[in-house]
A and B are shown apart, each in its own frame.
Chain A
Amino acid sequence: MATRRSRPGWTAGIVVGLGVGLLTACPARAASLPNPITIGVVSPLTGPVALVGKNLESGVQLRFEEINQAGGILGSRLAVIAEDDGAKPEQSVNAVTKLITRDKVPAIIGSVTSPTTLAGMEVSQKYETPQITPVSTSPKVTQSGNKWIFRVAISDRHHAAIVPPFLAGALKVKKAAIIHVNDDFGQGGSKLLQEAAAKAGVQIVAVDSYLGDAKDFTAQLSKAKAAGAEALILWSRQADGALIIRQAHHLGMKMPIMGGDAFSSPLLVKLGGDDVEGVYFTTSFLPSPEQARAFEFDKRFKAKFNRDPDFAAAQAYDAAGILAEAIKRAGSLDRGRIRDEIARTRDYPGVIGTISLDATGDLVIAPKIGQVKNGKHVFIQ
Chain B
Amino acid sequence: MAGETAGLWAQQVVGGIAIGCIYSLIALGFSMIVRAMDLLNFAHGEVLMLGGMLGVTALVGLRFPYWATIVAVTAASAAVGAALEWIVFRPLRRHRAPLDNMIIATVGLGIFLRNGAILVWGADPVRYPVKYGEPLVLGPVRLPLENLWILGVGVAAMVLLQLFFARTKTGVAMRASAFNPVTARLMGIPVDRMNLYTFAIGSALAGLAGVLLAPLLYASFDMGSVGLKAFAAACLGGFGSVPGAIVGGLVLGVGETLGAFFVSTSYQDALAFGLLILLLLFRPSGLFGRPQRAV
A residues engaging B (CB < 8 A)?
Answer: 45-48, 50-51, 182, 208-211, 213-216, 218-220, 222-223, 226, 239, 243, 250-252, 267, 270-273
Instruction: Assess A208 versus B265: contact at CB under 8 Å? Given A218-B12, A219-B260, A252-B142.
Output: yes
CA distance A226 to B257 in the complex (A): 16
Chain A binder among B63-71, B86-94, B121-129, B279-287 = B121-129
**Identity of the chain B residue whose Cβ is nearest the Cβ of A218 in the assembled complex:** B15
Instruction: Assess A210 versus B125: contact at CB under 8 Å? Given A218-B257, A250-B142, A252-B142.
Output: no
CA distance A220 to B217 in the complex (A): 17
Q: Could you tell me the distance in whole angstroms from the C-beta of B167 to the nearest C-beta in chain A?
A: 35
Contacts of B170 in A (CB 8 A): none
Instruction: Check if A47 sits within 8 Å of B142, measured CB to CB.
Output: no
The 9 closest A-B pairs by CB, nearest first: A218-B15, A219-B260, A219-B261, A50-B123, A46-B123, A208-B265, A250-B144, A209-B266, A220-B265
Can you list 20 A-B pairs with a CB-CB distance of less than 8 A? A46-B118, A46-B123, A47-B123, A48-B125, A48-B222, A182-B266, A208-B266, A211-B268, A216-B15, A218-B257, A219-B265, A220-B260, A220-B265, A222-B8, A222-B261, A250-B144, A252-B137, A267-B124, A271-B127, A273-B127
Q: A218-B261, A226-B4, A251-B11 are in contact. List 11 more A-B contacts (CB 8 A).
A: A46-B222, A47-B222, A48-B125, A209-B266, A216-B15, A219-B258, A219-B265, A220-B265, A222-B8, A239-B125, A252-B137
CA distance A19 to B217 in the complex (A): 62
B residues engaging A (CB < 8 A)?
Answer: 4, 8, 11-12, 15-16, 19, 118, 122-125, 127, 135, 137, 142, 144, 216-218, 220-222, 225-226, 257-258, 260-261, 265-266, 268-269
Secondary structure of the B contact surface, majority rule: helix
Q: Could you tell me the distance in whole angstroms from the C-beta of A239 to the nearest C-beta in chain B?
A: 6
Q: Could you tell me the distance in whole angstroms from the C-beta of B66 to the nearest C-beta in chain A?
A: 16
Instruction: Assess A215 versus B265: contact at CB under 8 Å? Given A220-B260, A271-B125.
Output: no
Q: Could you tell me the distance in whole angstroms from the C-beta of A199 to the nearest C-beta in chain B?
A: 25
Instruction: Check if A45 sits within 8 Å of B123, measured CB to CB.
Output: yes
Q: Could you tell me the distance in whole angstroms from the C-beta of A178 to the nearest C-beta in chain B?
A: 11
